[in-house]
Amino acid sequence: MIIEIDHPVARDLLTRLRDRRTPPSEFSRHARSLGYILATEATRGLRTSPRVIQTPLEEMLGEVCPDQPVLMVVLRAGLALLEPFRDLLPDSPVGFAAVRRIESTAEPVWYYDSVPETAGRRIFVLDPMLATGGTAESVVRFLRKRGAGQVTVVSIVAAPEGVASVRKHGDVAVITASVDRELDSRWYIRPGLGDCGERLFSGLPDSAPASGPAEATRGGGSAR
């Protein structure tokens, strides 16, 4: 299942994120705001259980979400979505995967992970830029080996190639604000929004020239 958010505020926020003039402080605020919309959609199917409560006026039967899915953050750009998901799911355990891409092949190489118990649990993989899908797919494979339950990949922007890669695992859902046109020759999403990690954390208002992405190589690869 792929869900592309259809919401005017999401389109507004995404346009601001795409705009190269948006400075880092606003970029992270807009990403967080869009994260709440993505998190609301991602959690739509969570089960609830009844709870009797007293309002100031009378007793009533309310509903609470007893399950706390695991939040799996793909570093570093995934941090942009963590706060909105934690606000909605405050008791969810949080895992991290740091995956570097070999620039010449876009192959994902893991260099750090910290993962809570995932067996049988629902998982939200927070990976804002689903480009080749190599990173997200390797995270999904890793989680599957650990017996994870239903997995949903949450992205701000996805490329068709990334969606196809993740969807090789037929039961994995993808939620995104946009499936963009294509990947370019350096595996940037077009039209995209540039290097999400750089725009969030480098302090540069504009880290991806229109003619092509800025270099993102550090130690033989990039962790966007």
Stretch that binds ligand URA, among 4-12, 60-68, 146-154, 185-193 (CB under 6 A): 185-193
Task: Work out which of 30, 121, 122, 224 binds ligand URA, going by CB under 6 A.
Answer: 224
Task: Work out which of 118, 188, 200, 207 binds ligand URA, going by CB under 6 A.
Answer: 188
- What tokens appear for 40 in the block? 């609301």
**Does residue 151 contact residue 97 with C-beta atoms inside 8 Å?**
no
Q: How many angstroms separate the CA atoms of 155 and 162, rounded?
A: 10
Q: How many angstroms separate the CA atoms of 125 and 140, rounded?
A: 8
| Cβ neighbours of residue 97 closer than 8 Å, sequence gap 6 or more | 72, 73, 74, 75, 110, 112, 113, 115, 135, 139, 142
Which 112-151 positions form the footprint of ligand URA (CB under 6 A)?
A: 129, 131
The distance of closest approach from Cβ of residue 101 to ligand URA in the complex, given in angstroms and rounded to an integer, is 8
Instruction: Report how far Cα 166 is from the mean position of its chain's Cα atoms.
Output: 13
Binding of residue 195 to ligand URA (CB under 6 A) = yes
Q: What is the DSSP letter of 68?
A: -
Which 69-88 positions form the footprint of ligand URA (CB under 6 A)?
A: 77
Task: Work out which of 196, 200, 207, 223 binds ligand URA, going by CB under 6 A.
Answer: 196
Binding of residue 42 to ligand URA (CB under 6 A) = no
How many CB atoms lie under 10 A from the CB of residue 74? 29
| 122/224 with CB nearer ligand URA | 224
- Report how far apart the first and last C-alpha atoms of the chain are (Å, whole number): 25
Stretch that binds ligand URA, among 3-11, 143-151, 167-175, 190-198 (CB under 6 A): 190-198
**Does residue 182 contact residue 190 with C-beta atoms inside 8 Å?**
yes
Stretch that binds ligand URA, among 16-24, 47-55, 64-72, 184-192 (CB under 6 A): 184-192
Q: How many CA atoms lie within 13 A of 24 on its CB side?
A: 15
Stretch that binds ligand URA, among 15-23, 88-96, 165-173, 186-194 (CB under 6 A): 186-194
Q: How many chain residues bind ligand URA (CB under 6 A)?
A: 10
The distance of closest approach from Cβ of residue 120 to ligand URA in the complex, given in angstroms and rounded to an integer, is 31
The distance of closest approach from Cβ of residue 193 to ligand URA in the complex, given in angstroms and rounded to an integer, is 7
Stretch that binds ligand URA, among 17-25, 79-87, 116-124, 191-199 (CB under 6 A): 191-199
- What tokens appear for 136 in the block? 């997200």
Q: How many angstroms separate the CA atoms of 75 and 53, rounded?
A: 40
Under the rule (CB under 6 A), what is the footprint of ligand URA? 77, 129, 131, 188-189, 192, 195-197, 224
